[in-house]
Amino acid sequence: MREYLWFACGVTVSAILFAALLFNDFWKRSAGRLASEDRADKDAAVHNGTAAGGPALDTDTAPDKKRTAISSSGYDYEVFLSFRGTDTRAGITNFLYTSLVDAGIRTYRDDKDLPCGQEVGPELLKAIRQSKISIPIFSKGYASSRWCLEELAYIVECKKTRGQIIMPIFYDVMPLEVRLRTGVYVDALSLHETKKRYSDETIREWKAALEEAGNIKGYDLQSMRNRGEGEFAKQVVQDVLVALKKPYLVVSDCLVGIDHHVGEIMQMMGTQIQETRIVGIYGMGGVGKTTLAKLIYNQLLPDFENCCFLSNIRETSELYGVEWVQNQLLSAVLKPKWPIIENSNEGSRMIKERLSSKKVLLLLDDVDSEIQLNALMGKRDWFGEGSKLIITTRNRDLLNHKVDYTHDLTCMNLNQSMQLFSRHAFRRESPLDEYVTLSKKAVDIAGGLPLALEVIGSLLSRTNKERWDDKLEAFRRAPREVQSKLKVSYDALDDRQKHIFLDIGCLFIGWDVDTVIHAWDEDKYSPRETIEFLQHLSLIKIEKDKKLGMHDHLRDLAREITRQECKRRDAKQRRVWDHKEAFELLQTRKVKCRYHLFPFREDKLYALSPALTHNLYDMIAVKTVKIHKPRIHVASISFPFCTDKRKSRSYLSQVRPSEAIPFFVRRLL
């Protein structure tokens, strides 16, 4: 009887094994078939559709209806944990992960060990790239794992290119060991070299990453022997929460050839020494000065309590005066403890008196006059010892005698240009084989300018291959000026896309997209889809906190187009972005257009004399302005598209400045 039972069990086991083999074979065949179908679909998209493999959408048609959500430039995760599973998964890693999640911090922890011979997957690399902070947990076995070393190398790369924060934990090894001065990490790297499985270049990258991470001030658990892992995890969570409150600046994912620029400027900044340093970055418009400066700012940010990013100083000073920018600086550093300033001389004095004892990180973006520099940073003793200042400008002469170092940011070389163009046109690092010749033409037309490469590539990615020559010819015929090249992409838009592009460029830069979306009629303009389409073409950007952004070249293009349209039609501008001009229009009888977009400043008093109140009688409010006829000389205003009556302001009340308030005024027909 026992023999029969053993026989039956044997048959059962054999049947299970045979079924498993059949399933495995079926799975492989199915996976292969799906992969073949996927490749076939991609090939079909390339030959029959667009360069990026998306739907064949002509840029003169409506936006893609399949994608209606407006995405923002942000992060999928706040923290990425890099660790050797067999060493710490059940201990410190689990304590830390649970504590971070309980605190509401979006944390990535990979629970799988990479099988021998397999590559680190794109999803894992994306998780690293889309994290604000990486925490490598250095244990004795960390350097023995190829996976851990690959992660660390990419983490260090993201620190250089995206300003990612690294907060290392030295679990059961000393920082000296991680820096490969002695101990188990030296032995682990020697073993990797002996096995000859990895290239010399890969080994060098791993060593460099270990050395850099080992030099970062972190948590040395060897010196915290009396502290439990749970208690330690709580301390790390508190430090992470503090770090996440820092105002990090969002930068693009598509960065090419920028590492050496970041490295050079970081050396100029003297991060290891406590002395004030001022560095100026200069170059032509659209070459990437602001992006580079943001990366440097993000890398320096963890070491500063007082920090300020002043963007578009050239435009802001022209519209509202340099004292407006001085107010921004004082507000950012002193928070609510600052009195309003009325003129630039008073502002300069206050900056010197209030900030001279504070260690400050300051980024002055797009400076174009010595008046602006003198008003914001007259002398280095205006700021406390150890302050770091970054200036971007198109005019190198402004930096003379003002900075310690200068950095000339030039256009991209041919290889870098092709890589950046391909990322926007094809969503890959190089052009598809059948597009190589066309891509070379596009790169040549862009002249190594990152902004032009981005805009041209984004436009062509949504254009059928058969029309590439026509589009490229239009770019080629345009004058060499940057705006002329960019206008080709504007000309490819339909009327509603042009309308919203001009509205954003003239008025809505810096505004919350979910607020501004109500400025346009849904049926007529399909604003959400149109904004997404403009974003895809790189004509606008959705910045941090869903704020609308636009490169200053594109902004200037939108405003110049608005001016030229009014000249051709011999009419007043439909969009007015200068608050002084807006008020002058209200004071005259020259309001002839169907509607105007007017910006007004909160810190100004606006009042019309009774003789001019006929202008107010002829206008009605749209969403934002209410004209009270019993007191016709007083125009009450509320913030745009905001139903909160507590935010209402009267022109005759003195209000502190925060930003310009745009609002609609439509003339009765």
Strands 541-542 and 548-549: antiparallel
* Average pLDDT of span 519-524: 82
Q: Angle at Cα 525 formed by Cα 558 and Cα 637, nearest 5°?
A: 70
Average pLDDT, the chain: 75
On whether the CB atoms of residues 379 and 357 are closer than 8 A, the answer is no
> Residue 630 — pLDDT band, cuts 50, 70, 90?
very low
Q: Is the pLDDT of residue 641 over 70?
A: no
pLDDT, one tens digit per residue, over 165-187 is 999 999 999 999 999 988 899 99
pLDDT, one tens digit per residue, over 384-430 is 999 999 999 988 889 988 899 999 988 889 999 999 999 999 988 89
What is the 8-class DSSP label of residue 93?
I
Q: What is the pLDDT of residue 570?
A: 56
Rounded CA separation 544/541 (Å): 10
Q: What is the pLDDT of residue 357?
A: 92
> Residue 141 — pLDDT band, cuts 50, 70, 90?
very high
Alpha helices, DSSP H, located in 404-551? 414-425, 436-446, 450-461, 468-477, 482-491, 495-503, 513-516, 522-525, 527-536
**Tokens linked to 175:** 């920082």
Rounded CA separation 595/572 (Å): 10
The more confidently predicted of residues 375 and 572 is: 375
Q: Is the pLDDT of residue 81 over 90?
A: yes
Q: What is the pLDDT of residue 650?
A: 35
**Tokens linked to 258:** 């920028």
pLDDT-above-70 percentage for the chain: 70
Rounded CA separation 172/222 (Å): 6
pLDDT, one tens digit per residue, over 104-139 is 889 998 865 444 444 557 778 888 988 889 999 999
Q: What is the pLDDT of residue 624?
A: 31
> Residue 263 — pLDDT band, cuts 50, 70, 90?
confident
Q: What is the pLDDT of residue 477?
A: 77
Bridge partner residues of 569 (DSSP): none
Q: What is the pLDDT of residue 480?
A: 61
Q: What is the pLDDT of residue 591?
A: 47
- Name 313's Cβ contacts closer than 8 Å, sequence gap at least 6: 325, 364, 365, 366, 367, 368, 372, 376
Q: Is the pLDDT of residue 246 over 70?
A: yes
What letter represents residue 199's amino acid? S
Q: Is the pLDDT of residue 644 over 80?
A: no
* Average pLDDT of span 160-164: 81
Burial annotation 23-55 (CB, 10 A radius, 16+ → b, else e): eeeeeeeeeeeeeeeeeeeeeebbeebbbbbbe
Rounded CA separation 35/49 (Å): 20
Q: Exactly one of 78, 150, 151, 543 is catalytic; name it.
A: 151
Candidate ranges 52-61, 390-399, 609-618; pick with highest mean pLDDT: 390-399
> Residue 143 — pLDDT band, cuts 50, 70, 90?
very high
Rounded CA separation 620/623 (Å): 10
Rounded CA separation 217/83 (Å): 18
- Name 368's Cβ contacts closer than 8 Å, sequence gap at least 6: 313, 314, 393, 394, 395, 398
Q: What is the pLDDT of residue 360?
A: 95
The more confidently predicted of residues 596 and 528 is: 528
Question: Model's pTM, two decimal places?
Answer: 0.60
Q: Angle at Cα 429 formed by Cα 428 and Cα 430, nearest 5°?
A: 100
Q: What is the pLDDT of residue 403?
A: 93
pLDDT, one tens digit per residue, over 303-341 is 888 999 999 898 888 878 899 899 989 988 887 666 778
Q: What is the pLDDT of residue 569?
A: 60
Alpha helices, DSSP H, located in 570-667? 579-586, 614-617
The reply to whether 151 belongs to the active site is yes
Q: What is the pLDDT of residue 251?
A: 77
* Average pLDDT of span 229-252: 81
